[in-house]
Amino acid sequence: MQKIISLLFSLLLINSIVLAEESYKVIATASIFADMAKNIAGDKLDIGLIVPVGGDPHLHEPTPRDAQLVSKAELILMNGLTFEGWLNKLVKNSGTNAKTVLITKGVNAIKSLDYNNSFDPHAWMDASNGLFYIKNIKDALVEYDPANKDYYEKNYEVYKKEIEALDIYIKKQIESIPAKSRTLITSHDAFQYYGRRYNLALESVLGISTDEDVQTSSVSKLNKLIKENNIPAVFIESTINPKLLKQIASDTGVKIGGELFADSLGDEDSPANSYVNMLRHNTDVITNALKGNSQVAIDHHTANEVEQSSSSNMLMYGIIACLFLGGFFFVFRKLNNT
Ligand SMILES: [Zn+2]
State in Å: Cα 210 to ligand 1 middle: 6
Of the pLDDT bands very low, low, confident and very high (cuts 50, 70, 90), residue 16 is very low
Question: Closest Cα partner for 237 from 262, 266, 210, 202?
Answer: 262
State in Å: Cα 34 to ligand 1 middle: 17
pLDDT value, residue 336:
59
State in Å: Cα 202 to ligand 1 middle: 14
Of the pLDDT bands very low, low, confident and very high (cuts 50, 70, 90), residue 221 is confident
Of the pLDDT bands very low, low, confident and very high (cuts 50, 70, 90), residue 296 is very low
Q: Count CA within 13 A, CB hemisphere, residue 282.
A: 33
Least confident of 182-186, 187-191, 278-282, 318-322: 318-322
State in Å: Cα 52 to ligand 1 middle: 15
The DSSP annotation for 50-106 comes to SSPTT--TTS----HHHHHHHHH-SEEEE--TTS-TTHHHHHHHHT--PEEEETTTT
pLDDT value, residue 230:
87
Contact 193, 129 (CB under 8 A): yes
- By CB neighbour count within 10 A (0-12 exposed, 13-18 middle, 19+ buried), where does 197 fall? middle
How much is the pTM?
0.79
Q: What is the pLDDT of residues 80-125, one digit of tens each?
A: 999 999 999 999 999 999 999 999 999 999 998 777 789 999 999 9
pLDDT value, residue 300:
31
Of the pLDDT bands very low, low, confident and very high (cuts 50, 70, 90), residue 39 is very high
Contact 49, 31 (CB under 8 A): yes
Q: What is the pLDDT of residues 251-275, one digit of tens each?
A: 899 999 999 999 999 999 999 999 9
Least confident of 44-48, 94-98, 179-183: 179-183
- By CB neighbour count within 10 A (0-12 exposed, 13-18 middle, 19+ buried), where does 245 fall? buried
For residue 112, the 8-state DSSP code is P
Pairing, β 47-49 against β 75-78: unpaired
State the Cα–Cα distance between residues 67 and 80, nearest whole angstrom: 19
Of the pLDDT bands very low, low, confident and very high (cuts 50, 70, 90), residue 244 is confident
State in Å: Cα 191 to ligand 1 middle: 9
- What average pLDDT is seen over the chain? 84
Q: What is the pLDDT of residues 61-91, one digit of tens each?
A: 999 999 999 999 999 999 999 999 999 999 9
State in Å: Cα 214 to ligand 1 middle: 15
State in Å: Cα 193 to ligand 1 middle: 12
Of the pLDDT bands very low, low, confident and very high (cuts 50, 70, 90), residue 236 is very high
